[in-house]
Chains A and B, each alone.
Chain A
């Protein structure tokens, strides 16, 4: 079941989107869409169905915190887990993300093991694995 999940990877750097997409594929998640900022991500989330979002914070137009808030106040979207993957390492940002409803927080640079662990933990909590 977990391998059929649909992921949305949101990051303004194409290299990072490609890395996360490849890591997800490596872990058996082949259905992955990409968005380069929060605005595009929100459009995609509202026009299609996704099970999981992997999201950067520092992005133009709409950053990760703004996207997180938009998703969490949207009745149709708020159930989607959002895993923040970001270079923002300030404690107040980490706590803000958690209080705003992020399902997890990974600081860049990260490893494949960390990404796998966090996704697995979130999916287990949600009963999707």
Chain B
């Protein structure tokens, strides 16, 4: 029993060692292939873009979270305003039933109408803010497009690597199949994810206005 166990352990160690050696060999081959094909720099560039993609995804999560919170807060406030007006309407209804003339004479009806007008403006303000909160769709959409573009570029480079390192016969077939794939490359940078330490971008409308004013526009 113990001898069998020892044999199995030795065999497992042998397999582990083989796997380790194989991975080492593959890594070396991949490194040499990349080096030989001049792809090391491209792969390094792509690896450098991955933290940027992470920042972009964090930006999307932050923006959608903020928008959801803003909408829910505004809905709560609008509902509270609505409830207040409903309570005031009930209260005025009771007063009118008790003494309609007094309700008008004491200005209770007029006060209520003024309260309704005021509430209407407040609720309208909340509705506008709820609408404005939906602008995250535009901003996150642009950022998502950039992440998708990065993924497409990585895929393209990996396919290229696969083609160039494949045996000659399959290389020719694959090249024909993938030659037409040109990843979409937007020239504009889109929303700024990190403003801190970036002197080339503005962080808000006041900086836009200051910049234009300083240039005489």
A-side interface residues toward B, CB under 8 Å? Answer: 11, 13, 15-16, 19, 22-23, 26, 57-58, 63, 87-95, 98, 105-112, 114
Contact = CB atoms under 8 A, between A and B. Distances in A.
Given A87-B191, A88-B189, A90-B201, A13 B208 contact: no
B142 interface: yes
B192 interface: yes
B205 A114 contact: yes
B202 A19 contact: no
B138 interface: yes
A23 B128 CA distance: 8
Task: Give the size category of B's interface with A.
Answer: 20 to 34
Contacts of B201: 89-91
Given A26-B128, A92-B200, A87 B142 contact: yes
Interface stretch (B3-11, B36-44, B108-116, B209-217): B209-217
A13 B138 contact: yes
Given A19-B134, A22-B131, A114-B205, 13 more contacts: A13-B141, A87-B190, A88-B190, A89-B191, A89-B192, A89-B201, A90-B189, A90-B192, A91-B202, A93-B188, A105-B212, A108-B135, A110-B135
Interface in B117-146: 128, 131-132, 134-139, 141-142
A92 B186 CA distance: 17
Nearest to B212: A98
Given A15-B134, A106-B205, A98 B215 contact: yes
Given A15-B134, A19-B131, A58-B190, A106 B208 contact: yes
A76 B189 CA distance: 32
A121 to B, nearest CB: 10
